[in-house]
Amino acid sequence: MEWQLQDAKNQFSKVVQKARYEGPQEITVRGERTAVVLSARDYDALRAGRPTLVDDLLGGPAWDDVLAEAVDTRAKTSSRDVAF
């Protein structure tokens, strides 16, 4: 179902209930489709199997031998001269 923004704001609990039982609810602003309200079940189904940001960061590209050697051979001391 399609809702104008003002109607969706005024009847938000109804929009949420319809999303739960009838499917995604589209919100329009000046006739342009702007947002969609989904049930938690529908949202979870969309996210299933997709990697998280943490998965993406941990699964980054493998280091080649040159980069690994450069990291291993860099100075083991601080790059800043800090006196406390």
- Using one digit for the tens of pLDDT, what is the confidence trace for 33-81? 999 999 999 999 998 888 888 888 888 788 788 888 887 887 666 667 6
**Token pair in block for residue 18:** 């319809």
Ordered alpha helix ranges (H), the chain = 5-10, 12-22, 40-47, 53-58, 65-73
Provide the phi-psi class of 39: left if phi over 0, else alpha when psi is between -120 and 50, else beta.
Answer: beta
Q: Residues 31, 34, 39, 41: is their CA dihedral positive or negative?
A: positive
In the chain, the domains with their CATH numbers are 2-72 (3.40.1620.10)
pLDDT at 62: 80
pLDDT at 76: 66
Position with higher pLDDT, 74 vs 17? 17
pLDDT at 79: 67
pTM (predicted TM-score): 0.60
pLDDT at 20: 97
